[in-house]
Each structure stands twice: as structure tokens, then as C-alpha cells.
């Protein structure tokens, strides 16, 4: 079993089992969210397990550098531009932070949150950045 240990006192080692618990809790919260739940449900459908399996690999690759994830998430997210607004990423991050801290504890949860913030920022920039809005006139 691959783990990532941290020198910080109180930080839990990141394991595949921890990642699975975090992802399952997070998507349970997503499904219950009045804003994000319907967006995800429209694209995932009734059977969430295939998506969860992909997310286990994604987070394993991010947190443990396992290389389990081989997908291209940006094109799928770009297709959602008409359904989401930049503020939805703040909501996504708040749910993720709550799940990460519950599952991983405060210190290890912050490690996950740091990566999640980078992911959200990348998607938000790709989906909504308008260079014309900052161009000098």
C-alpha cells in the first residue's frame, strides 16, 4: 500500500484507503448540495461508482504520485461552461474542505485542500478567463 508521510506532528499518512473515504464522503455531500448536486447528476447519471473510481485514481495521482489517473479532465469541464459559474468552485472547495478535514484531520486535510485549490483555480481560469477583460484600452 502506497502512503505519503508528513513530518508535521499530528498529520496522518495519506493512503489509498483515506483517499477513497474522502472521495466517497465528498461526493455524498455533492449529491446533497442544492446547487452542485443537480449539475453533477445531469452528467454522472444514476450510477456514480464509475465516476468515483476515476476520482480515486485522480486523487491518488495528485497526492501519492501513483500515476493511476490517465484521463484528461479539462475537456469534460470545459463542456460545462454554460452550466456553472465561477462561484460554484468556491462552493465545491468548501464541501471538499469539510470532507477532507473530517476524513483526514486538520493537517492532512489542508494538504488535500491545497491541491484542490490548485485544481479549482486551473479549471476556473480555463473555463472563465477573458483576456479582453484585462487588456489595456
**pLDDT tens digits, 31-41:** 999 999 999 99
Instruction: For residues 37 and 30, give the distance between their C-alpha atoms in angstroms, rounded to a whole number.
Output: 5
| Closest among 135, 114, 117, 136 to 125, alpha carbons compared | 117
CATH 3.20.20.140 at 13-130, yes or no: no
User: pLDDT tens digits for 98-116?
Assistant: 999 999 999 999 999 999 9
| pLDDT at residue 137, rounded to an integer | 62
Q: Where are the alpha helices (DSSP H) in the chain?
A: 16-32, 36-44, 49-64, 73-78, 86-128
- Per-residue pLDDT, 83: 87
Q: State which residues of the chain have pLDDT below 70.
A: 1-10, 135-137
Residue 71: name the closest of 100, 45, 91, 50 by CA: 50
Q: What is the pLDDT of residue 99?
A: 98
pLDDT at 74: 83
- Cα(30)–Cα(122) distance, integer angstroms: 20
Neighbours of 59 (CB within 10 A): 25
Residue 135 confidence (pLDDT): 61
Say whether 2 sits in a helix, a strand or coil: coil
Model pLDDT, residue 56: 98
CB 10 within 8 A of CB 79: no
Q: pTM for the whole thing?
A: 0.86
Amino acid at each position: 500500500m502506497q502512503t505519503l508521510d508528513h513530518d508535521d506532528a499530528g498529520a496522518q499518512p495519506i493512503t489509498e484507503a483515506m483517499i477513497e473515504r474522502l472521495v466517497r464522503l465528498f461526493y455524498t455531500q455533492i449529491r446533497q448540495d442544492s446547487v452542485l448536486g443537480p449539475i453533477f447528476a445531469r452528467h454522472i447519471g444514476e450510477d456514480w461508482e464509475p465516476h468515483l473510481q476515476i476520482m480515486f485514481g485522480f486523487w491518488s495521482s495528485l497526492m501519492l504520485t501513483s500515476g493511476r489517473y490517465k484521463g484528461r479532465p479539462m475537456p469534460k469541464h470545459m463542456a460545462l461552461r454554460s452550466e456553472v459559474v465561477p462561484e460554484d468552485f468556491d462552493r465545491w472547495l468548501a464541501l471538499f474542505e469539510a470532507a477532507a478535514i473530517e476524513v483526514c484531520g486538520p493537517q492532512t486535510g489542508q494538504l488535500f485542500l491545497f491541491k484542490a485549490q490548485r485544481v479549482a483555480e486551473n479549471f476556473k481560469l480555463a473555463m472563465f478567463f477573458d483576456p479582453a477583460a484585462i487588456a489595456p484600452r
